[in-house]
A and B are shown apart, each in its own frame.
Chain A
């Protein structure tokens, strides 16, 4: 009986072994990149909304503050989607006949909700709370990106677990003074643009115990610096037209006048690493160990 396989089959067999190894690896690589692809994560996708609402126009153009619409971002886990009434506050006066706004008027007339498509959609088994992030020095832009430059809303980041953990393992890199939370253009401190921070001596929520400014307090009128420190409202106007009065809503329980005599000892920060370490301590941010523990997000 003749040989069924000739000698060249040996090479083929070896090659197919290698090939199947490659296929397995390729499959793994493909699945991995598929899982991280925007097709799955929806990063950067702009879903078809009933109204092509432009954050760029309303925030950058008109200077609306984030909280005008997202009212409960400081108070609740849920930032809040504005009621039709919020739209109608202005649009009963301006653009009253715009075709684009027909769904708003429809909703107002019928009492039916406008059906938005959720852009930032965490799985239901993830517990996320806006309140704690915003009040502990994490700016809107850190997660949502430059919303003021998005004509149509999209998801800047993957919102995957690795992305969450990146920050939870090292929260310092993203911390900023609570007064700068709503500042879309906030840049981390550098030698050219340092940040000065100092304790206010106030009790109460952690955010009130520290005041920061982007203007050198030594150059300013010392009284002003003191007042600023006392008011805890330190706003930077790095971008004209931007409203950044986030901390303006914090209560101002005026320290006794005697205490003002103590000049606030400001520290100068020229890098995010320094500022992050300082704010982590001031805002009582938990240790990476606690933050990255499962039950923080999966309750």
Chain B
């Protein structure tokens, strides 16, 4: 977690990057928070001579064929890349700090003291240690053995059912619930990282009233008393994140009965508005799509990153079904994936056929596809792709499916409905069910209405439940201005964040691992979210806030959830409730297989409007989502999918765009959308379409975000217009002075290190000293990653084992007789069956998006 530049050292730099923050406020906040913040001094040495675009082009010129590479330097085999590797492998390099006598001596001198002290530490007398045994030990607890409890991680796109490993009733690890029909034991990066979020020391620990420590009781009283004085709740507005809990929705209905004038606005900066708007038009009601990829031979993704993470609804079952159908086995035809997308994603990388289009072009491409009209594309490549796609979809009618992305515009969703309908996919590979979220809405529209009401002075109480609009609201709404017009603002949040800091009341929110609630998973199955630990800071949940207005304000979230569970748990309630808590889901709550049919009425295909300027595509960050995980170190240091960027975000663009702008990687560019400016460093992404820049939301949090997240990257929300939250057209981009070093994890790959470690060595026939690494040797003899096309596999199904142990004789790293090591000589005598790794049947074939830190 040390790559973060210190706040003080970097303040100038970050101020430059976050230029839209009102300066006065920022400084004031910085002062109040800075004193307690430890200064993390980490200077990243500026990279040596960077590879220029021209060099890359020169190197790439005339190169074709299959070659795997992970970054441009490596591709071009530049000197600086060799240097980087040399530092890691001094033995080969013959230079570098370890072999350099002076440097090594200096190192030992410095380390000598620490080493000596480290040795001494082992000799000190241990202090007395107390034992605090239980007074009454829980019956089934065996101290030292973990216990497992089922719960679910509520996420806007659908809950992820988890099994929590708990040591002495402290959650220590989250994994997918293996018995749950949706997660089947799998989980994702966000879910895993919520554990660290629970133990985040920056979490808010108190109820604050105008910055002073107050109490929940005082808030409850004041809130209930004011509400009673209003006319039916007039002037009381709730601004909540996407509500995922059926119980919370039921509670809201009760509040509405008592206070019919009170209003609820749900809004998340990254939302499903496009899909909601399209489904409202097509079904007269909000619908969610559930794809059955196990039945699909051909899949078309229209900017849907359904293999990338839970930002796409149903990631876990979709990825599992896709992988199962994609796995190669003899006599089985793997499915085929077409992906049309802007920003390259892991889904795009898995695709057999991928077409990179600008966001604006994806809509017209999809509609052209749906209308069956003859397209007029600029490029022959697009024309070919289109023709092949149409033919393939038609040939596989009823066995294909079109998946629109949640961040793709509404017309893409409309086209997907039409296509799925025309191709006979509905009912077979896709069903349209009621929404996973109990109170669906088009959120940006609602937010705009709320801002209008706030502006008109109609809002007396603004109760914000788990949202952070002062950080993430679209820039043109000027949320801070209207926020200041509301007399009483209440913020329920896990941190005293940008919004909590300025709110009149701040209520510290309980983590989902500390609270009772419920949520639906992708297939509609309801899970009860049960607390794993007593709230660390007596936090409250949205249930408690709503309950404060109701007749029985003392009812706990547990009472509320249990009361509502009676509506969906069938049979004997006590048994059913216990079973639901034990299993992690409620039987029979999945949506029925019945599907709604969309009214397919396509508008005339709009002619492709040539927009001037660049398009800016706003995407949730692959690691931090909308910024809610900014203070989770695990996710900050997680190299982002595709770019391998960590602790930062960048203006992601293609080589062509870089050429247009005459910039190199790490140069700063100024992006101007509707007069709002943002400065961002440039990072090249191979496969990105020209003329469009992707920027990830969720970074550039201010100092209130916490010690980890503050000041990392730049805040793309400051550029985001409310009328075009997905992508903005007509942006001006120009190079500006300065440069910024991005943290890109480059080559942490065993194959790579291995091949480098061996590349300049003589390779003797046998290795009697055991100094040569098997991995390295293998990398030279035969790649660790072995690949073959489908046709090649059919011809030679055993291709992956060729040159493996037993087949190479008298080679370094292998036994002289070509035998596998004896049991007692092996490093992993029992756990490692190298020969049984069935690579050819697609073990690696289906590994994607693997990331570790």
Contact = CB atoms under 8 A, between A and B. Distances in A.
Contacts of A116: 130-131, 133
Interface string A145-175: 0000000000000000000000000000000
Interface stretch (A20-28, A76-84, A239-247, A276-284): A76-84
A114 interface: yes
Nearest to B829: A290
Given A84-B135, A117-B131, 6 more contacts: A71-B142, A76-B142, A77-B144, A84-B136, A114-B133, A118-B130
Contacts of B130: 115-118
Interface of B: 122-123, 125-126, 128-137, 142-145
B123 A112 contact: no
B142 A115 contact: no
Given A118-B129, A121-B126, A121-B129, A83 B145 contact: no
Interface of A: 35, 39-40, 42, 47, 71-72, 75-78, 80-85, 107-108, 111-118, 121, 123
A123 B126 CA distance: 8
A80 B138 CA distance: 13
B133 A76 contact: no
B145 A75 contact: yes
A83 B133 contact: yes
Contact of B129 (A75, A113, A117): A117
Nearest to A161: B122
B123 A47 contact: no
Contacts of B143: 72, 76, 78, 80
Contact of A81 (B126, B128, B129, B131): B131
Given A72-B143, A75-B145, A83 B134 contact: yes
Contacts of B131: 81, 115-118
B133 A81 contact: yes
Given A40-B125, A117-B129, A117-B130, A75 B142 contact: yes
Contact of A76 (B132, B137, B145): B145
B135 A39 contact: no
Contacts of A76: 142-145
Contact of B128 (A40, A71, A107, A118): A118
B74 to A, nearest CB: 34
A83 B135 CA distance: 5
Nearest to B143: A78
A71 B144 CA distance: 12
14 contacts: A35-B123, A40-B123, A40-B125, A42-B126, A81-B131, A84-B135, A111-B135, A112-B135, A113-B132, A113-B133, A115-B132, A116-B133, A117-B130, A117-B131
Given A72-B143, A75-B142, A78-B143, A83 B137 contact: yes
A126 B234 CA distance: 63
Given A72-B142, A72-B144, A84 B133 contact: yes
Which of B122, B135, B143 is packed against the most chain A CB atoms within 10 Å? B135
B125 to A, nearest CB: 5
Contacts of B135: 83-85, 107-108, 111-113
Contacts of A114: 133
A82 B142 contact: no
Nearest to A82: B133
A78 B144 contact: yes
Nearest to A81: B133
Contacts of A39: 125
B166 to A, nearest CB: 15
A113 B134 contact: yes
A84 B129 CA distance: 19
B491 to A, nearest CB: 35
Contacts of B142: 71-72, 75-76
A84 B136 CA distance: 6
B123 to A, nearest CB: 6
A198 B275 CA distance: 72
Contacts of B137: 83, 85
Q: Which 8 interchain pairs have the tightest Cβ spacing?
A: A76-B144, A78-B144, A113-B132, A83-B137, A83-B134, A81-B133, A77-B144, A116-B131
Contacts of A83: 133-137
Contacts of B134: 83-85, 113
Contacts of A107: 135
A112 B134 CA distance: 8
Contacts of B133: 81-84, 113-114, 116
A263 B136 CA distance: 48
A238 B652 CA distance: 80
Contacts of A117: 128-131
A45 to B, nearest CB: 10
A115 B143 CA distance: 17
Nearest to A72: B142
Nearest to B133: A81
Contacts of B145: 72, 75-76
Contacts of B123: 35, 40
B609 to A, nearest CB: 63
A35 B123 CA distance: 7
B118 to A, nearest CB: 11
Nearest to A39: B125
